[in-house]
């Protein structure tokens, strides 16, 4: 018990459990906090305002036992990243599964289970490939064999697969396996109340300490107790409450932002009198891909995009002002969209 379900509930507002096979999971959606959306909404005053979202799934802890359950394993395989809530808070009334408080041990234990689970998959596939390669000569099978041997070697040295140096082709080959230790990992450091003032220091300790040199991992500290109290307050009192602990953002806001950047995502915006909307795309997406995120038709019939930075749009009071200043630019398919761009897609 580290506070996973408590944090999940505050984050998504979802209390309802569903069953996938024998595993109880909760699925919920959290809005990505985005001040740019609010400012654009103030300018356009549309009836509809839509934030970008991240979907979270609350699952029982990763352990030898839970990983034996095929439905549990299947639910883990399909996610884009893990958030591992580590218990740093002390509370004698909440029993610790492992009998003592030791977040680094908990972190390494789960990592090891992910590694072992992947190793089983790799070994099975290697066995199969060995047989097949005796029957059929195929460069494709040879490549897969080599790649999996590389995975096996890493796993046997207790390295998660996210640590592996792979090229685009290998990445594609590995994708189908949905390896657990390859998924990006966000460590959520759940601190005790007395440590609320030390959030950033604790994050740094982890990043520069136990997580140093690890690829595709990140750490965000939250204080579950404070988040729970915060969630009970009306919106206008929340900032003040946070400030009383010397905080500017809630842990949940930072948790969502951290998820977003760990996954290599960013937001662009669309804004008009009918709707202000933040859209999620991978960093370095082209204008064409961005159009496709809005509507597949926009991608197919894309002509060009008008692009303006959100701040310029707000400061200049709208598109007309931005155009006058030459800050509303015409861009083609290949334009690389930047975080905070406002796009108007022209399509056929």
Ligand X SMILES: Nc1nc2c(ncn2[C@@H]2O[C@H](COP(=O)(O)OP(=O)(O)OP(=O)(O)O)[C@@H](O)[C@H]2O)c(=O)[nH]1
Cβ(290)–Cβ(268) below 8 Å: yes
Kindly state the smallest distance separating residue 219's Cβ from ligand X, in Å: 16
Task: Find which of Mg ion, ligand X, none residue 61 binds, CB within 5 to 8 Å per kind.
Answer: ligand X
DSSP 8-class letter at 212: T
Should residue 61 be labelled a site residue for ligand X when binding is judged by CB under 6 A? yes
237-256 footprint of ligand X as x/- string (CB under 6 A): --------------------
For the bound state, the minimum distance from the C-beta of residue 83 to ligand X, rounded and expressed in Å, comes to 11
Can you read off the two tokens belonging to residue 151? 């995975």
Is 56 one of the binding residues for ligand X (CB under 6 A)?
no
Q: State yes or no: residue 94 binds ligand X (CB under 6 A).
A: yes
218 binds, among ligand X, Mg ion, none (CB under 5 to 8 A by kind): none
3-state SS class at 27: strand
Q: Does 24 bind ligand X (CB under 6 A)?
A: no
Q: Under the criterion CB under 6 A, does residue 6 sit at the interface with ligand X?
A: yes
Label residue 284 left, alpha or beta by phi (over 0 means left) and psi (-120 to 50 means alpha). left
Residues 121-140 that bind ligand X (CB under 6 A): none
94 touches, from Mg ion, ligand X, none (C-beta below 5 to 8 Å by class): ligand X
Should residue 120 be labelled a site residue for ligand X when binding is judged by CB under 6 A?
A: no
How many residues at the interface with ligand X, by CB under 6 A? 15
Nearer to ligand X by Cβ, of 60 and 318: the residue is 60
Binding residues for ligand X restricted to 163-192, rule: CB under 6 A: 190
In this structure, what DSSP letter does residue 337 have?
-
Please, what is the minimum distance in Å from the beta carbon of residue 28 to Mg ion?
13
H or E stretch covering 111: helix 103-135
Of 46, 60, 318, 340, the one binding ligand X (CB under 6 A) is 60
Torsion over CA: 235, 230, 254, 3 (sign): negative
Relative to beta strand 185-190, strand 82-87 is: parallel
Cβ-contact 81, 55 below 8 angstroms: no
Phi, psi angles (nearest 5°) of residue 82: -110, 145
Query: Which positions from 251 to 280 touch Mg ion by CB under 5 A, shown as an x/- string?
Result: ------------------------------
Cβ of residue 109: shortest distance to ligand X, in angstroms? Answer: 13
Residue 5 near ligand X by CB under 6 A: yes
Q: Which of residues 199-238 bind ligand X (CB under 6 A)?
A: 224-225
- Evaluate whether 45 touches 38 at the Cβ level (below 8 Å): no
- Using the CB atoms, write b or e for 223-260: b if 16+ within 10 Å: bbbbbeebeeeeeeeeeeebeeeebeebbbbbbbbbbb
Cβ-closest position to Mg ion: 5
**Contacts (CB under 5 A) with Mg ion, residues 1-60:** 4-5
75 binds ligand X (CB under 6 A): no
Element (H, E) at 147: helix 139-156
The span from the CA of 65 to the CA of 97, in Å, is 13
Put the strands of the sheet holding 23-31 in their side by side order: 18-20, 23-31, 53-58
Q: Which of 199, 193, 204, 259 is nearest to 230 (CA)?
A: 193
Q: In this chain, which of 3, 28, 184, 292 binds ligand X, going by CB under 6 A?
A: 3
* Residue 92 C-beta: closest distance to ligand X, Å: 10
DSSP 286: B
Indicate the residue among 11 and 271 with the shorter CB distance to ligand X: 11
91 lies in the binding site for ligand X (CB under 6 A): yes
- Give the 3-state secondary structure of residue 276: strand
**Contacting residues toward ligand X, per CB under 6 A:** 1-6, 60-61, 85, 89, 91, 94, 190, 224-225
**Contacting residues toward Mg ion, per CB under 5 A:** 4-5
């Amino acid at each position: 018990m580290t506070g996973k379900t408590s944090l999940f509930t505050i984050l998504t507002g979802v209390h309802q459990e569903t069953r996938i096979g024998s595993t109880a999971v909760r699925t919920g959606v959290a809005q990505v906090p985005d001040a740019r959306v609010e400012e654009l909404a103030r300018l356009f005053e549309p009836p509809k305002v839509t934030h970008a979202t991240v979907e979270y799934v609350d699952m029982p802890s990763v352990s030898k036992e839970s990983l034996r359950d095929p439905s549990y394993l299947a639910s883990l395989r399909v996610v884009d990243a893990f958030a591992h809530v580590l218990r740093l808070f002390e509370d004698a009334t909440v029993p610790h599964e492992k009998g003592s408080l030791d977040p680094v041990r908990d972190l390494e234990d789960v990592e090891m289970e992910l590694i072992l689970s992947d190793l089983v998959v790799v070994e099975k596939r290697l066995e199969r490939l060995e047989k097949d390669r005796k029957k059929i000569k195929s460069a494709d099978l040879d490549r897969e064999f080599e790649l999996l041997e590389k995975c096996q070697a890493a796993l046997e040295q207790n390295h998660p697969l996210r640590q592996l140096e792979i090229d685009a082709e290998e990445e594609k080959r590995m994708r189908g396996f949905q390896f657990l230790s390859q998924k990006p990992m966000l460590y959520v450091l759940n601190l005790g109340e007395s440590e609320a003032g030390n959030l950033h220091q604790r994050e740094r300790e982890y990043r520069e300490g136990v997580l140093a040199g690890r690829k595709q991992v990140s750490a965000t500290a939250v204080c579950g107790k404070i988040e729970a109290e915060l969630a009970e307050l009306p919106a206008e009192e929340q900032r003040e409450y946070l400030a009383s602990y010397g905080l500017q953002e809630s842990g949940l806001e930072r948790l969502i932002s951290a998820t977003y950047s760990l996954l290599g995502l960013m937001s662009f915006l669309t804004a008009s009198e009918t709707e202000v909307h933040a859209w999620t795309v991978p960093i370095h997406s082209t204008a064409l891909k961005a159009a496709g995120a809005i509507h597949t038709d926009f991608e197919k019939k894309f002509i060009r995009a008008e692009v303006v930075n959100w701040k310029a749009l707000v400061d200049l009071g709208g598109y007309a002002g931005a155009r006058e200043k030459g800050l509303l630019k015409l861009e083609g398919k290949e334009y690389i969209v930047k975080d905070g761009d406002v796009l108007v897609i022209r399509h056929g």
